[in-house]
Chains A and B, each alone.
Chain A
Amino acid sequence: MTTDEREAAQDFQAPRPGDGWVDGNEAAGILQEIFTMDITTARGRCAGCGRVAPMAETRVYDHAAGLVVRCPDCDAVLLTVIRAPDRAFLAATGLTFLEVTLPETAGSGFTGA
């Protein structure tokens, strides 16, 4: 943290200031490349504790060897993204599902029946 930022953090009493993480809005750019949609409003279920919440509320460690997205409740790793020059690696083993809002179309809904 720079001096300015440290001072800024101390200006406001926080029970637990972010310990190296920022919120899920910051993962939006890289994830948008892979998912071709805005992922911040998508809701994911944590494989660790079952919490279902918008991706924007996750804790993003964007200062690591890759992007690490963690559950805000239990800290489990939900997904990681490694961005190479011409490809990206997405590992999402920490999400049991990702729910994305899509435009409604008549007759949509595939149940496999």
Chain B
Amino acid sequence: MARAAVQRRLTWQPATVAQVRTETSSARSIVLDVPGWPGHLAGQHVDVRLTAEDGYSAQRSYSIASAPELDRLELTVQRVPGGEVSPYLTDIAEAGDRIEIRGPVGGYFAWRPESVEPVLLVAGGSGIVPLMSMIRGRAAANSRVPFRLAYSARTPDDVIYAQELSRRVRDDRGVDVAFAYTRGTPPGWPRPPGRLDAALLAEVGWPADFIPAVFVCGPTGFVEAAANLLVAQGHEPQRIRTERFGPTGDREAAA
């Protein structure tokens, strides 16, 4: 790894908000211009620091939503009620504002386009964000690796990237998406509201003997339950990579 690249990752870098985009009533995407950003691996995250005029600062971690690219990256942030940093990013930040980021961070929960095995993505709520980086990265790399996504959300209105996911299922060739709605379903939905369960995972996921790479992301409870279901279905624990968001005190879940 080039020394300069390593040192860049360790220091706070200025980032300018280039664009903001509403995703749902509680989530917003923020495109950041970061001169010299070397790109990242799909699934990695950054630390974000905000500093007030009197020097007070707060920092949180957010998963990168975009495919790897130079000089620019995108975050998707979900507003945590009572949070300190997320409400600023979802409600106040606008194009031209400056924040600081450090990273990219985390090589464990990452998908590399050189991989050939099929990929199973399991998302709970805002856990979709790093997995979306993988789906977007797959397209950017023109990868033919088959991807399947099981995405659990409360209601259809809570699904982030809904239109883009439909488009990719239609156009990207090799991406399949299935939803589980825990609180409210779309009209005509064949199943009542309910949590992601073994039956749905078996139906939409890869069989364990395909030896897929599995990435699970979401709130801690969701991740533990999903990982247990997957292991029960025969997936090797070492093939399942997990990333848990929150919840503790006022630590904010990454979107």
In-complex A–B contact (CB below 8 Å): yes
Residue B242, interface by CB 8 Å: yes
Per-position 1/0 for A6-29, Cβ under 8 A of B:
101111111111101111111011
Most buried by A among B124, B241, B248: B248
B106 within 8 A of A: yes
Kindly state the separation between the CA atoms of A15 and B227 in the bound complex, as whole angstroms: 11
- B102 with A29: CB separation less than 8 A: yes
Stretch among B30-38, B133-141, B202-210, B218-226 lining the A interface: B218-226
User: What mask results when residues 155 to 166 of chain B are scored 1 for a CB within 8 Å of chain A, else 0?
Assistant: 000000000000
Within the complex, what minimum Cβ distance (angstroms) separates A50 from chain B? 18
Q: Which of these, A1, A8, A20, contacts B125 with CB under 8 Å?
A: A8
Within residues 1 to 59 of chain A, which ones have a CB less than 8 A from any CB in chain B?
A: 1-6, 8-18, 20-26, 28-29, 32-33, 36-38, 40-41, 54-56
Task: Categorize the interface residue count of chain A.
Answer: 35 or more
Q: How many angstroms between the C-alpha atoms of A24 and B105 in the bound complex?
A: 12
Q: Cβ of B64 < 8 Å from any Cβ of A?
A: no
Which residue from B10, B83, B182 sits with its C-beta under 8 Å from A36?
B10
Residue A63 is within 8 A (CB to CB) of chain B in the complex: yes
B195 and A13 form a contact (CB under 8 A): yes
Number of residues on chain B facing chain A (CB within 8 A): 48
Selected contact of B225 from candidates A14, A40, A62, CB within 8 Å: A14
Contact A29 B247 (CB under 8 A): no
Residue from A26, A36, A38, A63 in contact with B249 in the complex, judged by beta carbons closer than 8 Å: A63
Does the CB pair A11–B220 fall under 8 Å?
Answer: no
> Of B9, B125, B253, which contacts A32 at CB under 8 A?
B9
Residues of B220-255 contacting chain A, CB below 8 A: 220-222, 224-226, 228, 241-251, 253
Q: Contact at A5–B246, with CB atoms within 8 Å? A: yes
Q: Which residue from chain A places its CB closest to the CB of B82 in the assembled complex?
A: A2
Instruction: Assess whether A11 is in contact with B182, with CB atoms less than 8 Å apart.
Output: yes
In the complex, whether B68 has a CB less than 8 A from a CB of chain A is: no
Measured in the bound complex, the distance between the Cα atoms of B226 and A53 in whole Å is: 20
The CA of A15 and the CA of B224, in the complex, are separated in Å by 8
Choice from A2, A23, A32, A62 contacting B243 with Cβ under 8 Å: A23
List chain B residues, Cβ under 8 A from A40. 106-109
Chain B residue at minimum C-beta to C-beta distance from A59: B244
- Asked whether any CB of chain A lies closer than 8 Å to the CB of B61, the reply is yes
Please report B residues at the A interface, Cβ cutoff 8 Å. 1, 6-7, 9-10, 45, 47, 61, 80-83, 102-103, 105-109, 124-125, 152, 154, 182-183, 195-196, 218-222, 224-226, 228, 241-251, 253
Chain A positions within 8 Å of B, measured between CB atoms, are 1-6, 8-18, 20-26, 28-29, 32-33, 36-38, 40-41, 54-56, 61-63
